[in-house]
């Protein structure tokens, strides 16, 4: 992170001058987001085209985080913000944010975890989690409305929540035409139970196959006790600092999981290697339209040799009924 410090200071000064109504934490988080992003495209740090390996930004500090959960500030949440913080702490999480329905819940009192940023879930026509949120946009909102305001005007980051949920199923056409500017999509939502195993990334593969460089999240979407530890992200950060965590998330240096683990993803000499650390792990590689590339591989290490025609390659590791999703390595 040290090499980004001068840019951090440059960005912070104009932000303070222009956004005096916002608190200091929000300003700092925004500067980190702008440091990591391609400002001509979206608030995701993944470049719009060309080769890109998100794991080249991986740090040595692995942190478990939750990016979608609800407190009593949502009508259907069972726990206060402080109770949520204590639950995640006991369950072994390192960082979290609370995404209450159309309401920004700030860091709870007594929190012992790393507070990532202020967030909320927009629950209008389609559900989207807004991270680094300064305000809630209300009304009957389309996907495009939320992205245009929160991403392009407010420097927030938007993730598409449970796109396979039957009550708010996001059609292919909408994913392609309306979601430009989305940084994340939930490949697994532990509460909705609509994304099972290797078939979960329907929306993700549609977006990736249509030149949208989005990153996959797994989340609890916790409302009640039974939802705990159903899905989370494992971030490969440079440190335990929230800004380094946000930077790693935006760069894609993390895994989405509901229980399976991965030791490392490596790219060398046109070969992708997944180090699972388990002899019982089963790894499969996928490309455009979610088509499986080659045979599934059992064991501690799995490799895929690039053929030259792939747009992207992602991997799914299954172990004893649990799954872990890597972020794509983009090849074109």
Q: The domain containing residue 129 runs over which residues?
A: 35-258
**Final residue in a domain of this structure, among 223, 239, 258:** 258
Is the same domain home to 248 and 120? yes
Is the same domain home to 13 and 146? no
**273 three-state secondary structure:** strand
Digit-coded pLDDT (tens) for 25-78: 444 455 555 555 544 334 567 888 889 999 999 999 999 999 999 999 999 999
**In the prediction, which pLDDT does 21 show?**
36
CATH of the domain at 130: 3.20.20.140
135/155 Cα distance (integer angstroms): 11
Is the entire prediction scored with pTM above 0.75?
A: yes
Is the same domain home to 107 and 243? yes
**In the prediction, which pLDDT does 91 show?**
96
Is the same domain home to 242 and 282? no
Is the same domain home to 119 and 159? yes
Digit-coded pLDDT (tens) for 204-226: 999 999 999 999 999 999 888 88
- Residue 91 CB: number of other CB atoms within 10 A? 14
- Residue 90 CB: number of other CB atoms within 10 A? 9
Is the same domain home to 228 and 123? yes
160/43 Cα distance (integer angstroms): 14
Q: Which residues of the chain have pLDDT under 70?
A: 1-44, 193-200
Is the same domain home to 165 and 215? yes
The structure tokens listed for 310 are: 């792939």
Is the same domain home to 189 and 119? yes
Is the same domain home to 174 and 292? no
**In the prediction, which pLDDT does 308 show?**
92
**In the prediction, which pLDDT does 36 show?**
53
């Amino acid at each position: 992170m040290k090499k980004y410090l001068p840019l951090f200071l440059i960005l912070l000064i104009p932000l303070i001058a222009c956004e005096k109504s916002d608190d200091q934490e929000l300003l700092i988080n925004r500067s980190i987001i702008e440091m990591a992003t391609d400002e001509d495209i979206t608030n995701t740090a993944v470049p719009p085209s060309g080769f890109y390996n998100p794991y080249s930004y991986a740090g040595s500090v692995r942190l478990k985080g939750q990016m979608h959960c609800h407190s009593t500030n949502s009508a259907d949440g069972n726990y206060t913000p402080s109770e949520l913080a204590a639950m995640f702490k006991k369950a072994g999480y390192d960082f979290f944010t609370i995404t209450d329905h159309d309401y920004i819940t700030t860091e709870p009192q007594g929190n012992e975890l790393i507070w990532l940023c202020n967030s909320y879930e927009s629950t209008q026509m389609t559900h989207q989690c807004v991270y680094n949120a300064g305000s809630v946009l209300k009304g009957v909102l389309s996907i495009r409305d939320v992205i245009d305001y929160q991403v392009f005007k407010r420097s927030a980051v938007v993730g598409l929540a449970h796109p396979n949920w039957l009550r708010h199923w996001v059609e292919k056409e909408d994913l392609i035409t309306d979601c430009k500017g989305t940084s994340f999509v939930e490949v697994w939502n532990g509460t909705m139970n609509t994304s099972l195993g290797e078939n979960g990334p329907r929306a993700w593969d549609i977006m990736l196959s249509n030149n949208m460089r989005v990153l996959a999240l797994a989340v609890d979407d916790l409302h009640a006790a039974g939802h705990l530890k159903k899905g989370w992200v494992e971030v490969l950060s440079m440190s335990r600092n929230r800004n380094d965590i946000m930077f790693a998330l935006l760069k894609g240096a993390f895994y989405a999981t509901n229980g399976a683990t991965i030791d490392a993803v490596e790219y060398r000499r046109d070969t992708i290697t997944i180090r699972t650390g388990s002899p019982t792990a089963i790894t499969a590689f996928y490309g455009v339209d979610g088509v499986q590339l080659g045979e599934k591989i059992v064991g501690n290490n799995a490799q895929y040799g690039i053929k030259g025609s792939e747009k992207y390659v992602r991997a799914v590791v299954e172990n004893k009924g649990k799954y872990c999703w890597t972020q794509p390595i983009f090849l074109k």
